[in-house]
Structure 1
Amino acid sequence: MTVLARLQHELGEIVSVESSDLVASRRDRSGWMAPGTPLAVVNATSIEHVQCVLRLASEYRVPVITRGAGTGLAGGACGSDGSIVLSLAGMNRILEIRPEDELAVVEPGVINQHVNDALAEHGLWFAPDPASKAISTVGGNIATNAGGLLCAKYGVTREAVLALTVVLADGTLLHTGHRTVKGVTGYDLTALLTGSEGTLGVIVEATVRVRAIPLGDTVTVAAVFPDVAGAAAASARITAERLRPAVMELIDPVALAIVARFLGPERCAGLPLGTGAFLLAQTDGEGAGLEAERVAAVMRSGGGDVQVSRDRESGEQLLAIRRAMHPALEQHGTVLIEDVSVPRSRMAEMFAVIADISLRTGVSIPVVAHAGDGNLHPNFVIPPDPSGRTDGSVPEHIWAAADEMFRAALRLGGTLTGEHGVGVLKRRWLRDELGDTSFDLQRRLKAVIDPLGILNPDVMFQ
C-alpha cells in the first residue's frame, strides 16, 4: 500500500489531493512557488493527526512540509514535489489563559490577532506583532522567530515563548520548557526550536508569555527629513539618549515618494511627503508624553519637520503612512520583501550601500526599516512579465543586486535576516554568515533530531 493510500485510510477526509489545494500549498507571500506537485495536503486538527502523518512519512521516507497560513516571506513552507504538506491551520484553539501567571496556551494555527483579542478581556496582550499579525499564525511566528514593529522595546517571538509541545520526525511527542518565570534545567530546546523553520519538529502547542497592556497614553511623533542619512542619524540618537519608543519606523526617499503618490495630498497628514525621508516613533505607557517630547526634540535638532499627535485619530493618520508602504508598492508589480539587519549605529551606512547598489544596477530598491532595532526591509518591485508568466520567479539581475546587499550587511556586522527566516530563498548565503564550523554543526544537529532528513528538507540547508 502506498503512503497516500495509508494516509487516506488512517486519516480519511482530512487528506486532500484536490488540484487547487496542492497548487495553493506551493506558494507563500514571497511570491515564490515550489516546483513540482505535492503528494497531498493533510489538514490536521489534532496532535494525533500530526503524529500519524510523521509516523507514516518516516516509514515511507517522504518529505513533510509543515504549513500554517502561508504568510511566510522566504519560501520556507511551500509544498515541494512528492511531499506531504501538513497544514496546521485547523489547530486554532486558545486552550488556556492564566492571567495570574501571565501566560496563555495555544495551538499553532491560531491567528496572532485572535490571541490578542482574547487576551484583551483580561487586560493582557501578546507582544510579538509581525506586520502580518491579522493573518499569520502563532505557530508560524514561532517557527520563524518573527519580529515586527514593537521588537526594540518588547522583544521578538523567542522572548515570549515559555514552552512547546512538538512532534518529532518519527511521531514521538516532545515537551520542552516550563510555565514558570525562571527555568534553566537542561539545554534550552525551546529556544532551539523557536526559529527552526519546521526543520527539527512540528510545533503542536505553545505556552507563551503575555504582558499587561501598558497603562497611560500613546503619543505618535513623525518627521520628514531632507535625506535618509539625517533620519537614520536621528533614530540612532534617540536610542543613544536611552529613549525606547514602542515603535520607530523609517521610510527612505524612494519609498516615501511612492507612498505619497499612493496616498495623495489629502491623506499625508499635513506632512511634506513628496521628498525626503520619513521617521515615525510611538511612545506608550505612563511616561509616554514626556518621552515623546524628548523624541520630538531629537528629531527637530536633526533637521526634521516634526508633527506630534496625542489623540488616537491623528495618530492613526500618521501610522497609516507607514502602513501604506506595501499597498503602494504592489501597485507597480510583484514585491520581493527582503530583510537584513545591521547594528543600529551602522544603519545610515546600510541605507547608503543600498542606494549605491540601486544607482549602479538600475534596480529600484525602496526601503522601510524598523529603525529601533536596525532591521531594514529593502523591497524589489518586479514589474508584470510581458509574457504573462506568474510562476513567481525572481529575475537573476534582482538576485545579483540582492547578493551585493546581503554581503554588505554581513560586512557591517549584520545578518541576512532579522525576522523573515532563511527558508529557501536565502539558503545560498547561510554559510557566509554562519561560517564553516557553525554551519556544519547545525547540519549535524538536524541530522541527530531528524535522521532521515524528512522535515522541510529544502529549507536552510542545501
Structure 2
Amino acid sequence: MATEPTWGADTPDLDTSSAALGHDRPDVPAYRALAEDLRERVAGEVQFDEYAQVLYATDGSIYQARPAGVVTPRSVEDVQATMRVAADHEVPVIPRGAGSSLGGQTVGPGCVVLDFSKYMDEILDVRPDDRRAVVQPGVVQDHLDDRLAEDGLKFAPDPASSARATVVGGIGNNSTGAHSVRYGITDAYTEELTVVLADGSLIETREVVLDSPEYEEIVGKDDREAALYETTRELVAENEAEIDEKYPNLKRSVSGYNLHKVIYENDEGEEVINLSKLFVGAEGTLGTIVEAEVSLVTRPEETALALYTFDSLVDAMKAVPEALEFPVSAVELMDDEVFSLAAGSQEFAQYAEPIPDRATAALMLEWDSELVDDFEDAIADTNAHFVDEGDAFDVLEAYTPEDQADLWKLRKAAIPLLMSMQGDPKPYPFIEDATVPPEELAEYVGQFEDVLTDHDTSAAYFAHAGSGTLHIRPILSLKEEEGVEKMHSISEDVTDLVMEHHGAFSGEHGDGLARTEFNPKMYGEDLWSAFQELKSTFDPDWRMNPGKVVYVDGDTAAERGYPDSAADTDMRENLRYGPAYESIEPQTELDFDDEGGFSHLVELCNGCGTCRETDSGVMCPTYRASEEEIQATRGRANMLRAAISGELDDEEIHSDRFQEEVLGLCVGCKGCKSDCPTGVDLAKLKAEVKHEHHEEEGSGLRERIFRDIDR
C-alpha cells in the first residue's frame, strides 16, 4: 500500500520547470496567433491547448516532447494550408498516423502535429487487374488488407502493428514485417505519391524516364519540383561510388535516405527516376504524403507453420541461414523472455502454453501454397534437418488457421509484452532492429552478448531472423543518469559492431530520435553531406520533422535560422522517463501492490497503441466510437501520467474537464486489463481517481443517481 499523501494540495510539490522535467513545456498562449490563423484556414480540427500537447507528446517510443498543437485535417487543402501557416510562423510540422513508431519519429518539441488517422482514412481506389490500390494517409493496413481479401490480394509488408498502423505511416518508416524474406520491404511497393511540400505546394511522384520529354518538361520549369529532380539526379551521380560502398547489401536497410533506390531500370529496361522511393523511409522530413498508390501481391490460399525449439539462443541463430535454404516465406525468432512474460499475461498465457519449459529460443518457419504443394512433406524435410539431425529438440506444427493464429499472436505480442516487466528497468527500444547478414547472426549475437556483459545488463531477443533483423532490447532504467549513459554507450558499441558485420543500424523501425545521431558513422562524410543537401532542397528551412534522418551542427542551424531540433540530434534528449522524471505515489483506497503501485500501473503504458485497434478484442470501446486520442486507453494513461509527474498543474486532475473528458467516458469495461499487452487497467485507475475526486470535491447528481440505481 502506498504511503504518500493523497491527491491535491497535500501532495508533495514537484518541480515542473522545463529543466526539471527534462524536456520543453511549451507555453500555450505563445501559440495563440498560430492557432487562430490555422482555425481561419483549416476546415479540420485545430487543438492547441495543454491537453493536446500532452496527448501528442509521445508515441510508441521512449521519447517525449510537447508539440505546439495538433491539426486533424479533413482534406489535402487543409494540409496545404497548415504547411503555409506553419511556415509563416516558422514552426516545424510532423505528420502522424497511429503514433505507434518505436524510434520517436512522431515526436518533436514545439511542432504542429498533423494527425491523419481520424478523417483522411479512405481507400480511394482498388484496381485488382493492375494489382494497385490508392489510399489516404490515415488508412490502417489491416483495413486495406480486409478490403483486398475479396480480390485475393494484399499489401505485402506486414508489421506486427498492422491492426493499428497506417499504410502511409509505414511508407514514412519504410516498414516491413515477418514476410520480408518473401516480399521485401515497403519501398518495393510504393509506386506513386501525392506530396505536400514544406511551402504548401503539391507534387505527384511517379516513374519518369530520364531525359524523356516528360522529364525535360519537369526540369524545364523554374520551380521547386524541377530543383528536386535535378538535385536528386546530381547527388546520385556524384556519389555513385559511395552509394555502392556504403549502402549495405541486405533485404532490410531503412536508415538514411534511399539514394540507392531512386534511380533504377524499369520493367521495359528504361532508366527512370521515381521520387516516390525517396519519400519512403524519409519519416516526413522531405514532405507530407497525402495520397499513395501502392502495388499489391496475391494472397496465398493456405499457409502452415512449424516452431522449432532450442536449448540455446546461439543454436537457434546458427539454424537461420539453414532455414533460408528451404522454400519458406517467414523465419521468426522468439526467446524465453517472451515466453515467460506471455505465460504470466492474462491475454497471452494460452498461446505460450504449448511452448516446452526448457525452450531457451524458438525459430518459427512458415510455408505458403504459392511456394510448396504439400505442407506435410515440406515440414517433414525441415523436421529431419533441424530435429533429427540438428540442434532443435522439439517442433510444434500448425496447419489450421486457428493454430497458426495462436503462434502469430504470441510472436506479434513480443514488443508490448516486454514492456510489461515489473519495476523501472525495462527492455527499451533504441538499438533493437539492427540488421546483419543472416549467415553472420550467430557470431553477431555472441558479440552483442559481450557488449551487454561489459555494460552489466541483459536483453530480450525476438526477430525477423530470416532477414537478419534482431529485435534485441537491453534492459535498463532510464530514470537514472547511469542508465541513460549506458544506453548511449551500448548504442556506440553496437553500431560499431553492426559496421563490422556490414549491416544496417535499422532494418525496420527507422531512424527517429533514437538512431539519427549515428547515421554519419554508417554513411560517411560524403553521403552525409548529400543527405543534408537533399534535405535543404526539399525543405529549405528544415521545418519538416527536423532532427530525424539527418541533422546539422548547432552553429549551422542557428546561422541559417533552422529550428533548434534540426541540430545535433542526441538520443539522450527528450526522454519520456529521464533522470529528471519524478512522480507522486498517492495514498490509495484500492490496493495496487500487485501492480507495483498506482504510478507504476500508469507508467506501464508504452504508447504501442493497441487500444486504437477497432477490429478485434474489446479495447477500447470509447475510442472506437469517437476516434479521439483522449478516449483511447493510451490517451487516458498519458493524461494521468502528466497529472502524477507535474506535467499538469496540481489541481488539474480535479477539474471538470479532466474528470469529464479524460475519465468520464471510460465505461469501466476492463477491456484494457484483458487486451492491453502491458496490462494497463484503466478502469481500476479511474475508480481510484474518481473516489479521490469525490472525497475532495463531493459527488454530483449523476454519480448519486448511479450509486443508488437499485432504489
Relative to the length of structure 2, the TM-score reads: 0.60
The match for 2:59 is 28
Cα pair distance change 1:3/1:407, threshold 3 Å? same
Q: Compare CA radii of gyration and give the structure with the larger one.
A: 2
The match for 1:136 is 165
Relative to the length of structure 1, the TM-score reads: 0.91
The match for 2:331 is 248
Cα pair distance change 1:271/1:79, threshold 3 Å? closer
User: What amino acid does structure 1 have at the position aligned with 2:428?
Assistant: L
User: What amino acid does structure 1 have at the position aligned with 2:458?
Assistant: S
Cα pair distance change 1:11/1:261, threshold 3 Å? closer
Contact 2:342 2:351 in 1 (8 A): no
Q: CA deviation at 1:162?
A: 1.1
Cα pair distance change 1:320/1:3, threshold 3 Å? closer
* 1:132 aligned counterpart, secondary structure: coil
Contact 1:153 1:246 in 2 (8 A): yes
**Residues 217-256 of structure 1: matches in 2 within 5 Å?**
217-239=302-324, 241=325, 243-256=326-339
Cα pair distance change 1:324/1:171, threshold 3 Å? closer
* 1:100 aligned counterpart, secondary structure: coil
- Match among 24, 32, 54 for residue 83 of structure 2: 54
Q: CA deviation at 1:248?
A: 1.1
The answer to whether the aligner puts 1:87 opposite 2:179 as a matched pair is: no
The match for 1:428 is 517
Q: CA deviation at 1:205?
A: 0.3
Contact 1:253 1:275 in 2 (8 A): yes
User: What amino acid does structure 2 have at the position aligned with 1:238?
Assistant: A
User: What amino acid does structure 2 have at the position aligned with 1:111?
Assistant: V
- Match among 437, 440, 459 for residue 548 of structure 2: 459
Cα pair distance change 1:283/1:269, threshold 3 Å? farther
The answer to whether the aligner puts 1:358 opposite 2:387 as a matched pair is: no
Q: CA deviation at 1:253?
A: 4.6
The match for 2:175 is 146
Q: CA deviation at 1:383?
A: 5.3
The match for 1:10 is 41
Q: CA deviation at 1:251?
A: 2.1
Q: CA deviation at 1:7?
A: 1.1
Cα pair distance change 1:137/1:321, threshold 3 Å? closer
* 1:32 aligned counterpart, secondary structure: coil
Contact 1:353 1:405 in 2 (8 A): no
- Match among 486, 500, 512 for residue 397 of structure 1: 486
Cα pair distance change 1:279/1:51, threshold 3 Å? same
* 1:459 aligned counterpart, secondary structure: coil
Q: CA deviation at 1:382?
A: 4.3
Contact 1:309 1:315 in 2 (8 A): yes
Contact 1:269 1:318 in 2 (8 A): no
The match for 2:436 is 342
The answer to whether the aligner puts 1:204 opposite 2:290 as a matched pair is: yes
Unaligned runs of 5+ in 2: 1-31, 209-265, 552-711
Q: CA deviation at 1:147?
A: 1.0
Equivalent-residue separation in structure 2 for 1:309 and 1:18 (angstroms): 51
Contact 1:65 1:85 in 2 (8 A): yes
Q: Deviations over 1:44-88 (max 9, x none)?
A: 12110111111222333221111111111111111412x211222
Equivalent-residue separation in structure 2 for 1:400 and 1:374 (angstroms): 23
Equivalent-residue separation in structure 2 for 1:418 and 1:173 (angstroms): 30
Equivalent-residue separation in structure 2 for 1:336 and 1:122 (angstroms): 40
Contact 1:363 1:398 in 2 (8 A): no
Q: CA deviation at 1:131?
A: 0.8
Q: CA deviation at 1:294?
A: 2.7
Cα pair distance change 1:297/1:355, threshold 3 Å? same
Equivalent-residue separation in structure 1 for 2:410 and 2:69 (angstroms): 42
Cα pair distance change 1:437/1:13, threshold 3 Å? closer
Q: Deviations over 1:95-135 (max 9, x none)?
A: 00111111100001110111001111222111111111011
Equivalent-residue separation in structure 2 for 1:394 and 1:118 (angstroms): 45
**Residues 2-401 of structure 1: matches in 2 within 5 Å?**
2-11=33-42, 14-34=45-65, 37-81=66-110, 83-89=111-117, 90-177=119-206, 182=267, 186-215=272-301, 217-239=302-324, 241=325, 243-259=326-342, 267-268=351-352, 270-286=354-370, 287=372, 289=375, 290-300=377-387, 301-304=389-392, 305-332=394-421, 334-337=426-429, 338-382=432-476, 395-401=484-490
Unaligned runs of 5+ in 1: none
User: What amino acid does structure 2 have at the position aligned with 1:193?
Assistant: F
User: What amino acid does structure 2 have at the position aligned with 1:58?
Assistant: A
Equivalent-residue separation in structure 2 for 1:207 and 1:13 (angstroms): 24
Q: CA deviation at 1:169?
A: 1.0
Q: CA deviation at 1:433?
A: 0.5
* 2:458 aligned counterpart, secondary structure: coil
Q: CA deviation at 1:335?
A: 4.2
Equivalent-residue separation in structure 2 for 1:178 and 1:445 (angstroms): 19
Cα pair distance change 1:275/1:238, threshold 3 Å? closer
Cα pair distance change 1:229/1:410, threshold 3 Å? same
Equivalent-residue separation in structure 1 for 2:185 and 2:313 (angstroms): 26
Contact 1:4 1:39 in 2 (8 A): no
Aligned residue pairs, count: 451
Contact 1:67 1:78 in 2 (8 A): no
* 2:165 aligned counterpart, secondary structure: coil
* 1:444 aligned counterpart, secondary structure: helix
Contact 1:260 1:273 in 2 (8 A): no
Equivalent-residue separation in structure 1 for 2:473 and 2:202 (angstroms): 40
The answer to whether the aligner puts 1:417 opposite 2:506 as a matched pair is: yes
Q: Which moves more between the two structures, 263-272 or 435-444?
A: 263-272
Q: Deviations over 1:375-418 (max 9, x none)?
A: 111113445959xx9xxx97222332233222211211111100
Q: CA deviation at 1:312?
A: 2.5
Contact 2:94 2:544 in 1 (8 A): yes
User: What amino acid does structure 1 have at the position aligned with 2:368?
Assistant: D
Equivalent-residue separation in structure 2 for 1:30 and 1:41 (angstroms): 19
Q: Which moves more between the two structures, 434-443 or 312-321?
A: 312-321
